[in-house]
Structure 1
Amino acid sequence: MNTPRRSSIAAAPTSRWPLRISGLLAALAIGTPAIADEEFFEKQVRPLLVKHCFECHSGAKSGGGLSLETAAGWQAGGESGTAIVPNKPDESLLIDAINYGSMEMPPADKGGKLSEDEIAVLTQWVAMGAPDPRSGMDTIGGMSRQQAEAWWAFQPLPDFAGEPTSEQIDALVNAESSRRSLSMAPPADKRTLIRRATYDLIGLPPRPEDVDRFLADDSADAFSKVVERLLASPQYGVRWGRHWLDVVRYADTAGENTDRPLPHAWRYRNWVLDAFNRDMPFDEFARLQICGDIAMNSGDGNARAEGIIATGYLAIARRFGHDIDKDIYLTHEDLIDNLGKNFLGLTLGCARCHDHKYDAVTAEDYYALYGIFASTRLSFPGCEPQGQPRDLVPLLDAAAVESLQADYAAKLASYEQQTQLLPQETIRLRDLATSATQLIAESQVDEGQSVALWTGEMGSDASAGKRCLTLRRGETLQLTVLPNEGHGADTTRVELEISRIGSRAAVWNVANLISTFASSGPAMADNGAAWCLLDVTDGPQFLNERKTMVSGQPSLGGWAIGDTPLSLVNASEDPVSVWTSLPGKSFFLHPGHLRNVAVAWVCPEDGEYQIQGTLTDSHPAAGLDGIAFRLEHIAAPKYGEGLVEIGKRLSSTTMQPPVPPAIPVAYAAVDSSPVDAPVQLRGDPEQPGDAVPRRWLSIFGGERVGMDGGSGRRDLADRIVQHPLFARVMVNRIWQNHFGRGLVATPNDFGTRGDPPTHPELLDWLAVQFRANGYRVKPLHRLIMLSAAYQRASSVPEELSSDMPRHNAIASAAPAAADPENLWLSHFSPRRLTAEEIRDTLLTASGQLDYSFAEAHPFPPAAEWAYTQHTPFNAVYETDRRSVFLMVQRQRRHPYLALFDGADPNSSTASRQATTVPTQALYFLNDPFFHAQAAAFASRTSGDEQIENAFRVLFQRAASDSEVQVAERFLASYPGTPSEKWSAFARVLMASNEFLYLD
């Protein structure tokens, strides 16, 4: 593509082409009726130019400087002069090129030579004088300037006089319905209304007592009190924050080919929820997400931290490919595309490769924004070739960080000074033990087997093979586990009990160490004795590195030197599955490669002692050789006393390795060196064009940004929130989340490819009120929810039986026939609960919902990550908290959220789609979580009014007589115990449409 022949049709010709006009050309010129110049161009010429030429010769940077996109473009010519000489095809470089004269256009790799018919058309066009009706002198992207300046979404917000009321919403809605002769549905009954409002504002069902209170309240402001109570709930932020997380495609993983975790992204998620609870002005909310690190840099510690956390909005942009730095241009596209859709309702990402085909956005506009984010440093999540995360942003100021690091450095120096004495102590203790060690027992433990300490018999347990020894104070019993040759699957469960017999009986058991293991090791006092965790390969060295949350499991704690040798415990009552299944309430030793690990017991006083125990290979692996053990009596009191003394020193602050300072960090964005980005020709970063200054969109003025020496994000944020699109887009989202459909049905696209507003005056009126209320969301909720439009019923035919619950009714055919999509809001549109609402409602019904806010997910420590494109990260973490706190993974979506149409974390979800698929029904038949919630709910509904209570809790209403009869027949005929019957009945109710749908 770099040779003169193939680079541009404007290259200088070396010879004139011989005029070759085929018989078809003669027919066009002579044998056909005259064709109007413009019609000929539109029907014959323009399609050929678009099909064969525009790929290279259009857009912000056309090949060879020649644009065939407008008449002005080809008239200006290319780098080598004029390409078309009107009326003279034999002197036109364009005709020379398509005939493969001095050059070949289109080149072979772009489709090759045109057909004879196509060449004839272009030749005829030039011979006719190259008529071209495309003025093209004032276009912006895919629109003329005149069209763009008149586009409805770009217009200033109008003025509306008077105090805003919900009645004004109704007047504007009713006017559109009246024009279409649509009759309005009556008001919804109060039970339907409180259920609708509660799910809308907090995403949970109303409590029976809240329903009773509302039904009993006959005051004019009864519903207003319900709305205020819900707006004050901390669960409001959970519900409405989730809407925003949909829009910004929040995720807890990066999305590149190993899909690495983002351990600190939760801070942004929780900030969003809290911002909605505080009713933070939405313009401030937007500014902080775009430039919070800059805007709050001079604030106090909390304000500065909040500003940094908010820029998680930018940092969570998806990463792509294998080496994400090489594909950073795709991350910038994701970021720019998301920003445009979220705040402006514009598909800015469509201008990466060329001018937007439909909207007033040019490729140069795109790269003007690209430069802003190329001047911003995003936290790095890690990737396979570049390792672990970096560039996480401290939430403390520089002085505080420096002070913490200096304190840590001083403690580390003291610790290292003390530990230099330990090798000498190890040698001394080894020498003491050399001549005083007596072997008591030793044995091989084969793969997956258990062995009693004394008998060496396979399968023996700790109650067998007791043995008595006479011990003196300070003498040591040392149980050592050796790795054999096949080190690897060597996790060994130790059951060891030592009993003093006689008048002063006492018992010591390693099981008693489990509850305080992580906090008191590696030297643990126990009723006068001491337990010591040791590497005894070259002499006794304490396992002095504390391990918390081994393999990301909170119940696993340990002490080690490096990774191994290791001693660990499972403090949980239940087994934990890691590299193997570790039984509950168990103590383990794991040797290292050629390193022996031991637990030593130092005798507290002279006496007779009985020892019993069992060792079990807890990590069976085919082909490996298990482990071996030996039990030794070290009859040198000074050895045991030396261990106790070192243990005391290890317990002191100077002998414990200092913990690095816990400097809180965020997955966030900060400014880097400012740079203007070049246009990437056809979106290819390896084909840079001219640099574009950082600026605002040209249709909106194109003002330069970053003139203060920064990235320009602060200026960009100001331009965004001041534009009328900003208010229009957000109020449309709020309306959509109340009615199921926005006034603009394409909430991420207010451009020419989106839908026009159904109620344009209402959209503008709401935007004006939003702005007038300081861009606060809660006042808009009040206006919308107190309107008659919101409080209408989903229409029901009058002929339906009064005994039939409303949820079983079929929507009236008359409004549906006239307005099948309910565009004109003659009634309320029912909807299915979202995935989060279904799960949270199940947990509410079972009484197991934890309303507290979660923080970090239990990801494995970053130092342990070894994810590859073939073994990417994948996990599902169970929780009883609300579903917004589920870990959201990009590559392998959470199975439940994917099943019930949760948001796609890979792209902005402007509105949820509700699908109905067979696997959803199978969920209610088979899923363990669903069955567990149904069983827990059934256990809560007892007594003589079980059926009535079940309907009140699940449906917020009384059961009808017919429903009671059906329930009684079901319970009488279903097999099993009373508990099993009620669990089955609960599953029926919790899988019903009334439970899953909202009127």
Structure 2
Amino acid sequence: MIPRPIEHYIRWFFAISYATFFTAISPAGEPPTIGPAETQMIEEPEISKYDRDHWSFMPITAPPIPQVDDFSWAKTSIDRFVLASLESEGIRPADAANRSTLVRRLYWDLIGLPPTAEQARQFVQDDSPNAYDRLVDELLASPHHAQHAALAWLDLARFAETDGFEHDKIRPSAWRYRDWVIRALGNDLPYDTFIQWQIAGDELEPDNEEAQLATAFCVSGPDMPDINLIDERRHVLLNEMTSTVGSVVMALQFGCAQCHDHKYDAISQADFYRLRAFFDRSLNLKQNKSVTTLTSIQNDRPSRLMNRGDFRSPGPVVHAAYPRLLNANSDSPSDGAGQRAALAKWLTSSDHPLTARVIVNRVWQQHFGRGLVTTPSDFGVMSDEPSHPELLDHLASELIANDWSLKWLHRTIVRSQVYQLCSRPPADAANSDGVSHWQHALENDPENRLLARYPRRRLTGEAIRDGMLLVSDSLESTMGGPGFKPPLPAELLKTLLKGQWKITEDPAEHQRRSVYLFARRNLRYPFFATFDRPSADQPCACRNESTTAVQSLTLFNSQTSLDVSERLADRVLSVGPSRPEQIDELFWRLFARSPGEKERTMAIDFLRSQTVLIESQDIDYQKRHASRLAMVDLCRGLLNSNAFVYID
């Protein structure tokens, strides 16, 4: 596959070459046209009942909560839907996870940070019946929850603080959109309003600066402000914007219909340009200047279908209209101002079949690593079938009934018994039934689509970095403002133009949460790139999760790891001279539990042998600090372990 930045260059190259060719052969310097665009007829296939006969296009209903045999196991409606599927296949769910596992899972999952040693001990020792629910509410109310949850949306919004392409110029105010997303999620802005503002905040609430700022979602993708042909720039931006709204909000790949009718879904090329027409008067473009938000402008030019998707070949006039596939009643927005507002309201109406289903699936994916539909940005006919279709509709209808509250949705999911299952087989050999049930589930549902166990998953690069800072008491909690720029390797700085990465002067800024680290489109921060952070050239619905040697080498040898390990070692040594107490403190900080006897013995043996080894070196500093340096090495090793970088 061609790397994304090169794809962009190729796309622009062919567009410019095409335009240059037709300009050269046209006597008037204009590309040839097929005929008067105003009189051209649009030919497109009719939408049939068969086209709409697909699970994701059906109205959202509230299905009955199923009956189950093991009624006492199910704590919530989610459990009933999942257990019914398991029982139909003769599979029993795994045992419940222990409290150490649960507290660590909850913290990482809801705020993107591990619990402190004190927080973990407090939860493990709290046997009150409402301790778990109380912790869930506490974490959802934390500002850290919004900072963590924002990352998933910023992936979808293809957020970056630069334009991309060759010059990759900085967008000075781009960070304001990132801060808006964090505030909106922290305040639990209803999801329907969250979407409406990002599409048409300036039209819906013209006096609300927050609503205006939210429209940056539409223009957060790559741009080339210095291109000579402003019409080409407008065309590319509008197409990218339309494709993004289609895939992110509705999980339909509208972008496939830019040049021709969609090959699989009942979306014609005219459907694409009708959707694009909602945004046609929303871009106020200026040469060499980034566009930051949507702004309705006076523009008498009619919207057109572009033949073969080329901006130099305008076709028939099109008017803003909702996609026919999802508009069986043939509703239509009024002409003139406020069309984007009408689109935003149509997308978030309670009878829209996709919007609620799509966000429920995305939030489910955040907690289980995979959605109920494993193609989160494609709910079309080529999508994966939902593993639990009734559960998806149940949560979608309940989300709407609960004022589109995303915190309600997070809370409902993590309070379920399904979320609290073990991710590993029983360690107790005496538990023969548990081992047997685990093996049966593994054989009959190896991909765990039916959710008989909790799926282990690796932390993101941002979470690993933030967690390393937190366990070493180094995390700086300042929120908001322009992104900070930490030091980069000299060899990377050489690849940038002069002045493109001016290191933030205050060293304390370098310890802030990763969501605030400056997001350059053409250069992902190396630590994040190593752990599969996506580029910001297009919406990312599901990050890759690779396992490479470079990841281990980074965790062992990067400057970040070395600095964190030294600070962590000093914190651990400060508890006193007792090695067992030091080991206990280290395990509680990293893994939210005490070490097992074998682990404690191995750690003490390592410290003893490593101290002897360091003392044998003919370096005076190492001899004098051998005990501390051995602890630093132990910290580096444990930070690199699966027990730290995976959520059980």
The residue number in structure 2 matching 1:235 is 144
Query: Would you say the 8 A contact 1:260–1:873 is kept in 2?
Result: no
Q: Distance in 1 between matches of 2:217 and 2:517?
A: 18
The answer for the alignment partner of 2:637 in structure 1 is: 988
8 A Cα contact 1:789 1:825, kept in partner: yes
Q: State the partner residue of 2:297.
A: 672
- Which of 153, 178, 190 matches 2:56? 153
- Please, what TM-score do these two structures have when normalized by structure 1? 0.54
1:886 aligns with 2:535: no
Contact between 1:876 and 1:894, CA under 8 Å: does it hold in 2? no
Measured after TM superposition, the shift of residue 275 of structure 1 is: 0.6
1:315 matched residue in structure 2: 219
In the other structure, the counterpart of 1:683 is 309
The C-alpha deviation readout for 1:20-39, integer Å capped at 9, x for no partner, is xxxxxxxxxxxxxxxxxxxx
What does 1:854-865 align with in structure 2 at a 5 Å threshold? Answer: 854-857=480-483
Partner residue of 1:509? none
Aligned match of 2:450: 824
- For residue 785 of structure 1, report the CA deviation from its aligned partner: 1.2
Look up the match of 2:99. Answer: 190
Instruction: Say yes or no: does 1:705 pair with 2:609.
Output: no
1:213 to partner: Cα distance: 2.2
Which residue does the alignment assign to 1:581?
none
- What is the CA–CA distance in structure 2 between the aligned matches of 1:138 and 1:982, rounded to whole Å? 70
Per the alignment, in what secondary structure is the counterpart of residue 941 of structure 1? helix
The answer to whether the 8 Å contact 2:484/2:518 transfers is: no
Aligned partner of 2:245 among 339, 353, 358: 339
1:771 aligns with 2:396: no
Secondary structure of the residue that 1:355 maps to in structure 2? coil
Deviations 1:487-522 (Å, cap 9, x if unpaired)? xxxxxxxxxxxxxxxxxxxxxxxxxxxxxxxxxxxx
Task: For residues 546-599 of structure 1, give each alpha carbon's deviation from its aligned partner in whole angstroms, at most 9, with x where no partner exists.
Answer: xxxxxxxxxxxxxxxxxxxxxxxxxxxxxxxxxxxxxxxxxxxxxxxxxxxxxx
Letter in 2 for 1:167: T
Match of 2:387 among 758, 766, 780: 758
Counterparts in 2 of 1:242 and 1:688: CA distance versus 1, 3 Å:
same
Aligned pairs for 1:101-112 within 5 A: none
Q: Secondary structure at the match of 1:689?
A: strand
Q: Secondary structure of 1:235's partner?
A: helix
The answer (yes or no) to whether the contact 2:223–2:290 under 8 Å persists in 1 is no
What is the one-letter code of the residue matched to 1:929?
Answer: T
Q: How does 1:195-206 map to 2 (within 5 A)?
A: 195-206=104-115
Aligned pair in 2 of structure 1 residues 228, 706: CA closer, same or farther (>3 Å)? same
The 1:362–1:232 alpha-carbon spacing in structure 2 relative to 1, beyond 3 Å, is same
What residue identity is the alignment partner of 1:742?
Answer: G
Q: Percent identity?
A: 34
Q: Which residue of the other structure, out of 712, 715, 738, is the alignment partner of 2:367?
A: 738
CA distance, structure 2, for counterparts of residue 916 and residue 271 of structure 1: 33
Matched, 1:916 2:547: yes
Give the Cα–Cα distance (whole angstroms) in 1 for the partners of residues 175 and 226 of structure 2: 25
Aligned AA (1:883): S
Give the letter for the 1:316 counterpart.
S
Answer 1 or 2: higher relative contact order, Cα 8 Å, separation at least 6. Answer: 2
Amino acid at match of 2:296: D
Task: Give the corresponding residue for 2:127.
Answer: 218
Q: Do structure 1's residue 268 and structure 2's residue 177 form an aligned pair?
A: yes
1:715 matched to 2:342? The reply is yes
User: Aligned partners of 1:273 and 1:843: how far apart in 2?
Assistant: 21
**Is the 2:65–2:80 contact (alpha carbons within 8 Å) kept by the matching residues of 1?**
no
Measure the CA separation in 1 of the matches of 2:173 and 2:34: 48
Letter in 1 for 2:122: R
Query: Aligned to 1:939, which of 556, 570, 573?
Result: 570
Question: Partners in 2 of 1:771 and 1:232 — Cα distance?
Answer: 21
User: Which shifted more, 187-196 or 369-378?
Assistant: 369-378
Distance 1:801 1:964, change over 3 A: farther
SS in 2 for 1:690: strand
CA drift of 1:705 comes to: 3.0
CA distance in 2, matches of 1:697, 1:690: 17
- 2:529 and 2:484 map into 1 onto residues whose CA distance is 21
Q: Mark the CA change 1:818 to 1:378 in structure 2 (over 3 Å): closer, same or farther.
A: farther
Equivalent in the alignment of 2:472: 846
CA shift for structure 1 position 814: 3.8
Q: Which residue of 2 aligns with 1:356?
A: 262
Give how far 1:800 is off. 5.6
1: distance between equivalents of 2:543 and 2:430? 34
2:354 partner SS:
helix
Shift of 1:669: 1.4
Aligned residues: 561
Hey, what's the Cα distance between the residues in 2 that align with 1:690 and 1:261? 37
Pairing 1:89-488 to 2, within 5 Å after superposition: 139-140=45-46, 145-160=48-63, 167-297=76-206, 299=207, 304-320=208-224, 323=227, 325=230, 326-377=232-283, 386-387=287-288, 389=289
| Amino acid aligned to 1:347 | Q
Once residues 166 and 284 of structure 2 are traced to their aligned partners in structure 1, the CA distance between those partners, rounded to angstroms, is 18
Q: 1:231 to 1:834 in 2, by over 3 A?
A: same
1:188 Cα deviation (Å)?
0.6
Q: What is the rounded CA distance, in whole Å, between the counterparts of 2:284 and 2:564 in structure 1?
A: 41
Once the two structures are superposed, what CA deviation does each residue of 1:325-355 show, in whole Å capped at 9, x if it has no partner? 3333222221111111111011111110011
Q: Does the C-alpha gap of structure 1 residues 676 and 870 become closer, same or farther in structure 2, counting only changes over 3 Å?
A: farther
Distance 1:138 1:340, change over 3 A: closer
Distance 1:343 1:717, change over 3 A: same
Q: CA deviation at 1:379?
A: 6.5
Aligned equivalents of 1:217, 1:225: Cα separation in 2:
11
Task: Report how far residue 390 of structure 1 moved.
Answer: 6.1
**Residue 854 of structure 1 contacts residue 881 of structure 1 at CA under 8 Å; is this kept in 2?**
no
Return the offset for 1:921: 1.5
Cα deviation code 1:151-181 (max 9, x no counterpart): 2111111135799x95221111111112222
Contact between 2:260 and 2:308, CA under 8 Å: does it hold in 1? Answer: yes
C-alpha distance 801-959 of structure 1, shift in aligned 2 (>3 A): farther
Instruction: State how far apart, in whole Å, the 1-side matches of 2:415 and 2:595 are.
Output: 29
2:278 alignment partner, SS class: helix
In 2, the alpha carbon distance for the partners of 1:161 and 1:920 equals: 46
CA–CA separation in structure 2 for the residues paired with 1:901 and 1:812: 31
Structure 2: which amino acid aligns with 1:938? A
- The Cα of 1:268 is off from its aligned counterpart by 0.6
- Deviation at residue 256 of structure 1 after TM alignment: 3.0
Mark the runs of 5 or more structure 1 residues left unpaired by the alignment: 1-62, 66-77, 80-136, 381-385, 392-666, 803-808, 860-868
- Deviation of 1:801 (Å): 9.8
- Give the letter for the 1:305 counterpart: E
| Change in CA separation of 1:149 and 1:138 when aligned onto 2, cut-off 3 Å | farther
Corresponding residue for residue 27 of structure 2: none
Report the Cα offset of residue 372 of structure 1: 2.2
Letter paired with 2:604 = E
1:205–1:352 distance in 2 versus 1, CA, 3 Å: same
Structure 2 distance, partners of 1:732, 1:984, is 42
Label 1:961 to 1:390 Cα distance change in 2 as closer, same or farther (>3 A).
closer
> 1 CA distance for matches of 2:81 and 2:484?
51
Larger strand share, 1 or 2: 1
Which residue does the alignment assign to 1:519? none
Deviation at 1:202, TM superposition (A): 0.3
Residue range with higher mean Cα deviation, 813-822 or 912-921: 813-822
Partner Cα separation in structure 2 for residue 740 and residue 731 of structure 1: 13
Residue aligning to 1:954: 590
Gap regions ≥5 residues in structure 2: 1-32, 67-73, 486-494, 505-509, 615-621
Normalised TM-score (structure 2): 0.82
What is the Cα-based RMSD across aligned positions, in Å? 2.6
Task: Using the TM superposition, give the Cα deviation of residue 149 of structure 1 relative to its aligned residue in structure 2, in angstroms.
Answer: 2.1
- The CA distance in 2 between the partners of 1:673 and 1:256, in whole Å, is 29
Query: SS of the counterpart of 1:184?
Result: coil
1:773-798 superposed Cα distances (whole Å, 9 cap, x missing partner): 01001111222111111111113144
Matching of residue 749 in structure 1 with residue 374 in structure 2? no
Contact 1:315/1:379 (8 A) holds in 2: no
Supply the AA of the counterpart residue of 2:152.
H
2:374 and 2:129 map into 1 onto residues whose CA distance is 34
